Amino acid sequence: MSDQGELMLNRLIVLLQVVAIPIYFIFFSVRFRDQRFAFFDTLLSRAEWLRPVLPEWMVLFLVNAGIPIFFSLPWVLGTVLRATKIANAYTLMGRALGKVRIDQKIFYGLNAAFTLVFFIFPFASPIITIIGIFVVMKILLVDKLKVGKVSKLIWIIPSLLLSFYPGLIVVAFYINYSTLLQTIIDGWNSTVAIIFGIGLCLAIAITLGNFFLFLFEGRAKYSNVPVNEGFILFLKGIFLGILLLLYFPGEGVDFVNIVNYIAVAFAFFEMIMRKRHNLNSDQSAGRGIIMVLVFSLVNMLINYLDTLPNFHDTGIIQTIVVAISGLIFFGLFAASYKYADDEELF
């Protein structure tokens, strides 16, 4: 993919973020609507003096629209204001890992998305909302309008006023924190096997595709026949589709596990042969492929642990692997974002 085409794709991803984040918080809000009604009923019964500022229509607004608006606003606003820089950061992520192909970026991005949806968005968004209000007011009043010349702390008063209604939603959220946390953990535990299965199928498909790429690169080294990376990417897509169809109905899990063993053997053979024949120019056996290989190795470990009579909880291992892959993505994005405005990189 050309640099221009990759940049356009990354801008499309940024646009999808702007749309997907509010949709996520709408579903999240609907799931916990009853807890917020209970909070406001209790609050108004104990503090009658709040009724003038919390009429029925405002309570309905906060219960039904509070989370989608207040919790998604910092993410959406930050994405819109820094859209170009975020798109450029995605472009630079390949350089942070080396020459990493689009399929590996999808692998890391997919695990990062799962981590965001289940852990970061639910628990970080409330406090980010309140902090964001204070930061924005300080920037507007002190840095832009120079109100700070009158009093360095005068910006705190409008910040407190603006954060009143979002603050109620945040309090309602954290009061029910234990219930919400347990619900999200239960949701994660019920889906982590599916999430890991998707990551595993993608990891196997990438590993098999990379092995075929290695064979083509070896041929190109001696015959000057160009390598068709587009065909390899298409082949990985075919592998992924077949593996998913086999894995999730359940009947083909054993076959996928066998393919997993073969893919791991291919990966180690590729690493050895690339080193021996000096075919490491694209670093496909290097940093970018490490977590892809880890998924396959962990699946082998889980298959072994399942044979032990006293070991039944493999979910924690799957969770750790998914989380590490997601954190690698976030770390790469942070590093890329830091240098995204450096014109020398373009």
pLDDT by residue for the chain (346 residues), tens digit each? 556 666 677 788 889 999 999 999 999 888 888 888 888 999 899 888 888 999 999 999 999 999 999 999 999 998 888 888 888 887 777 555 555 567 777 888 888 888 888 888 988 999 999 998 988 888 887 776 666 555 667 778 888 899 999 999 999 888 877 777 788 888 888 888 899 999 999 999 999 998 988 888 877 777 777 778 788 889 999 999 999 999 988 778 889 999 999 999 998 888 888 888 776 645 444 455 677 788 888 888 888 887 777 766 778 888 888 888 888 888 888 878 887 764 443 3
Quick check: 172 and 39 in contact, CB under 8 A? yes
Please tell me the distance from the alpha carbon of residue 243 to that of residue 54, in angstroms, as a whole number: 54
Angstrom CA distances, 20 to 15, 122, 194, stand at 9, 15, 21
Q: Which two tokens stand for residue 165?
A: 């209604």
What is the Cα 116 distance to its own chain's centre? Answer: 5
Quick check: 173 and 124 in contact, CB under 8 A? no
Please tell me the distance from the alpha carbon of residue 191 to that of residue 196, in angstroms, as a whole number: 9
Please tell me the distance from the alpha carbon of residue 36 to that of residue 39, in angstroms, as a whole number: 5
**Strand (E) or helix (H) holding 48:** none
Listed in sequence order, the DSSP H helices in the chain are 3-31, 33-46, 56-66, 73-81, 83-97, 102-115, 121-138, 156-162, 164-175, 177-223, 229-247, 253-277, 290-305, 315-338
Name residue 167's amino acid. Answer: G
**pTM for the complete prediction?**
0.78
Angstrom CA distances, 320 to 62, 77, 116, 301, stand at 36, 31, 14, 13
> What contacts 24+ positions apart, CB below 8 Å, involve 8-11?
10/87, 10/88, 10/90, 10/91, 11/83, 11/84, 11/87
